[in-house]
Amino acid sequence: MLGKLKQHQFLFEELVKRDFKKKYKRTILGMGWSVLMPLLTLLVMKVVFEQFFGRNMKHYTTYLFCGNLLFCWFSEATNAGMRSLYRNASIFTKVNVPKYLFLFSGSIQTLINFVLTLCVFFVFCALDHVTFTWKFVLLLYPMLTLLVFNMGVGLILSALYMFFRDLDYLWGVFLQLLMYGSAIFYTIDKMPAKTQVVFACNPVYRHIAYFREVVLSGAVPSLETHLTLAGVAVAAFAVGAWMYRHYNTRFLYYV
Amino acid sequence: MSDAKPMLFCQNVSIRYKVGDFKNIGLKEWVMRRLTGRYRVVDFWADRDVSFEVRRGDMLGIIGTNGAGKSTLLKAVSGIMEPTKGRIVRRGKVSALLELGSGFDSDLTVKENAYLRGAMLGYTRKFMNEAYPYIIDFAELKEFEDRTFKQLSSGMKARLAFAIASLVKPEILILDEVLAVGDGAFRKKSEAKMKEIIRGGAATILVTHSLAQVRAMCNKVLWLDKGRQVEFTDDVDGCCARYEAFLSKPSGPVRGGGR
């Protein structure tokens, strides 16, 4: 796969450029908008939930932002990823190019967005008097695994979307469920142990928890956490890659 | 100067297409149909038992009515589809220019689209940088360089597409109805360019409805009808005449939708 990627590097770069230009419509404001969106969600959540969940918590804004930051990335990446193959049908039905390039280029797009929001996140951390330690470097790890996980889920969804065009509605509903199940604005430590297991099975929540552990508690997450994050990401990616391989010449029938 | 080995070799190629209810149905529709047993997928042979070969310097014309399986065959040749049966041997890089005007992005400018298309055709950035002035010049679109694609006429799009594509030094070149676009002057220019490429040693496949074009340019013809091979011959004039006679028969060929 990497060798092929190298061979198609020029195409990949051009696709990234195209997606970038289309997304931000060639305006500086366009970029601002995409950072503003998660901030607005954050503001709404802060206003609504602070009275209920944030009263006895230090750094509630940062707690909230950790959840929002990662969940928004996941939601945006999978939503965009889902349509990436279908949207480029006019290309791959005429030219023989590796189809995953479309998804990868979209992933770069959402990654840029994420990094921009991440910068804002650190500003907010500073404003919220969070102590910065060397352990913040560890945050690169969940970012990497979530990137791979997003791409994996994107591969799976984009393949399925070719067959079932109403998948976006279902995925929207699922994302909503996942949002409530990711403990973005509340904490789970007072919940029964059984319920906590459910949260532990949610990869998005695990990534959020990793962030919080490092940023808010200044702790190093366990080895088990590291392995789980990597395992889930690789598994999702493997399933997605297999689907692309398997359906490679069959997507054509469904356009 | 024909080589011993053909550049492209198709042996008993059959391609099965699936048609039926599965397209554009959602998950819930699919589940419903599965449950009620109304889910029907029909296999449809777009091509059956097609065999031909193309050698260096050859220009093969593929003729046939709509729905004869021409486009599907080309998709298999270019590697977008796989033949269900039979085999295709390619001895060289295939460049396919299928439905030239499409596949461009309407929000990008002419220049951006040119680079994107070049990348799709497998050029390098360095090559594109060098070739771009020539491309824009050949397509006569210098003053439209920074316009977005939606502002262009379809003729202009096809011109750009041709200009980019004609730069390939392809070993096997596939042209699907390309030469039929553009006005008279551009057409002359593009035909001259095509001949240059063919002389350069490439093997070319041309799909067209214009028999005049086939007669003028091709040295081999493949005639398909409803997926079946009627003729593969180098008697171009004879085959074209028989095809014309077939077209003007009172019962007439059934015109289906092409894909």
Residue-range domains of chain B with CATH: 8-93+170-247 (3.40.50.300)
Residue A105 vs residue A37, higher pLDDT: A105
Give the pLDDT confidence score for residue B259 in this predicted structure: 39
Q: Which domain holds residue A247?
A: 17-254
CB of B52 within 8 Å of any CB in chain A? no
CB A102 within 8 A of CB A9: no
Let me know how long chain A is. 255
B133 contacts: CB under 8 Å, gap ≥ 6: none
Tokens of A186: 């509340």
Contact state of A91 with B80 under an 8 Å Cβ cutoff: no
Distance CA A89, CA A99 (A): 9
Residue B81 clears pLDDT 90, i.e. is over it: no
Contacts of A163 in chain B (CB under 8 A): 22, 30
Q: Is A10 inside a domain boundary? A: no
Contact state of A164 with B121 under an 8 Å Cβ cutoff: no
Distance CA B135, CA B72 (A): 29
User: b/e for A77-101, b at 16 or more Cβ within 10 A?
Assistant: bbbbbbbbbeebbebbbbbbbbbbb
Residue B256 clears pLDDT 80, i.e. is over it: no
CB A110 within 8 A of CB A77: yes
Residue B17 vs residue B52, higher pLDDT: B52
CB B203 within 8 A of CB B171: yes
Give the pLDDT confidence score for residue B56 in this predicted structure: 85
Q: Is A230 inside a domain boundary? A: yes
Residue B1 clears pLDDT 60, i.e. is over it: no
Residue B14 vs residue B18, higher pLDDT: B14
Give the pLDDT confidence score for residue A159 in this predicted structure: 94
CB A45 within 8 A of CB A182: no
Residue A154 clears pLDDT 80, i.e. is over it: yes
Contact state of B120 with A91 under an 8 Å Cβ cutoff: yes
Q: Which of A183-192, B171-180, B217-226 has the lowest mean pLDDT?
A: B171-180
B209 contacts: CB under 8 Å, gap ≥ 6: B63, B177, B180
Give the pLDDT confidence score for residue A118 in this predicted structure: 94
Q: Is A94 inside a domain boundary? A: yes
Contacts of B23 in chain A (CB under 8 A): 253-254
Residue type, B214: V
Residue A169 clears pLDDT 50, i.e. is over it: yes
Q: Is A96 inside a domain boundary? A: yes
Mean pLDDT of all residues in chain A?
A: 90
Contact state of B22 with A170 under an 8 Å Cβ cutoff: no
Give the pLDDT confidence score for residue B37 in this predicted structure: 77
Distances (CA, A) of B20 to A252, B17, B24, B38: 14, 10, 10, 11
Contacts of B75 in chain A (CB under 8 A): 93, 252
Q: How confident is residue A224, by pLDDT bands cut at 50, 70 and 90?
A: very high
Distance CA A194, CA A197 (A): 5
CB of B180 within 8 Å of any CB in chain A? no
Distances (CA, A) of A98 to A10, A88, A137: 13, 12, 34
Contacts of B116 in chain A (CB under 8 A): 11, 14-15, 18
Distance CA B225, CA B254 (A): 10
Give the pLDDT confidence score for residue B201 in this predicted structure: 67
CB B164 within 8 A of CB B117: yes
Give the pLDDT confidence score for residue A48 in this predicted structure: 87
Mean pLDDT across A103-120 = 93
Give the pLDDT confidence score for residue B2 in this predicted structure: 47
Q: Is A12 inside a domain boundary? A: no
Residue of B nearest to A170 (CA): B27
Q: How far is A130 from chain B (nearest CA, A)?
A: 44
Domain count, chain A: 1
Residue A217 clears pLDDT 70, i.e. is over it: yes
Residue B257 clears pLDDT 60, i.e. is over it: no
Tokens of B102: 């499409």
Mean pLDDT across B59-80 = 86
Q: How confident is residue B236, by pLDDT bands cut at 50, 70 and 90?
A: confident
Give the pLDDT confidence score for residue B21 in this predicted structure: 66
Residue A149 clears pLDDT 90, i.e. is over it: yes
Work out the number of other CB atoms within 10 angstroms of the CB of residue B159: 24
Tokens of B30: 């699919």
Alpha helices in A54-139 (DSSP H): 60-87, 89-92, 100-127
Give the pLDDT confidence score for residue B7 in this predicted structure: 84
For chain A, the residues whose C-beta falls within 8 A of a C-beta of chain B are 8, 10-11, 13-15, 17-18, 21-22, 90-97, 163-167, 170, 249, 252-254
Contact state of B108 with A96 under an 8 Å Cβ cutoff: no
Mean pLDDT across A135-158 = 96
Strand B172-176 relative to strand B59-63: parallel, antiparallel, unpaired? unpaired
Inter-chain contacts counted by CB atoms under 8 A, chains A and B: 83
Residue B167 vs residue A225, higher pLDDT: A225
- Any long-range contacts for A43-50 (C-beta under 8 Å, 24+ apart)? A45/A184, A45/A185, A49/A185, A49/A186
Mean pLDDT across A79-103 = 89
Residue B164 clears pLDDT 60, i.e. is over it: yes
Percent of chain B surpassing pLDDT 90: 11
Distance CA A246, CA B6 (A): 31
Residue type, B165: A
Mean pLDDT across A241-255 = 87
Alpha helices in chain B (DSSP H): 27-36, 70-78, 110-120, 125-138, 154-165, 184-199, 211-217, 236-247
Q: Is A1 inside a domain boundary? A: no
The edge-to-edge listing of strands for the beta sheet with B85-90 is B85-90, B8-20, B41-54, B228-233, B220-225, B59-63, B203-207, B172-176, B94-97
Residue A50 vs residue B39, higher pLDDT: A50
> H-helix or E-strand containing B224?
strand B220-225
Q: Is A24 inside a domain boundary? A: yes
Alpha helices in B85-210 (DSSP H): 110-120, 125-138, 154-165, 184-199
Mean pLDDT across A105-109 = 92
Instruction: Report the Cα–Cα distance between both ends of chain A, in Å, rounded.
Output: 25
Distance CA B170, CA B164 (A): 12
Q: How far is B92 from chain A (nearest CA, A)?
A: 15
Distance CA B47, CA B159 (A): 31
Q: Tell me, what's the ipTM?
A: 0.78
Q: Is A2 inside a domain boundary? A: no
Q: Which of A80-94, A211-225, B144-158, B160-174 has the lowest mean pLDDT?
A: B160-174
Residue type, B40: R
pLDDT in tens, B218-231: 889 999 988 888 88
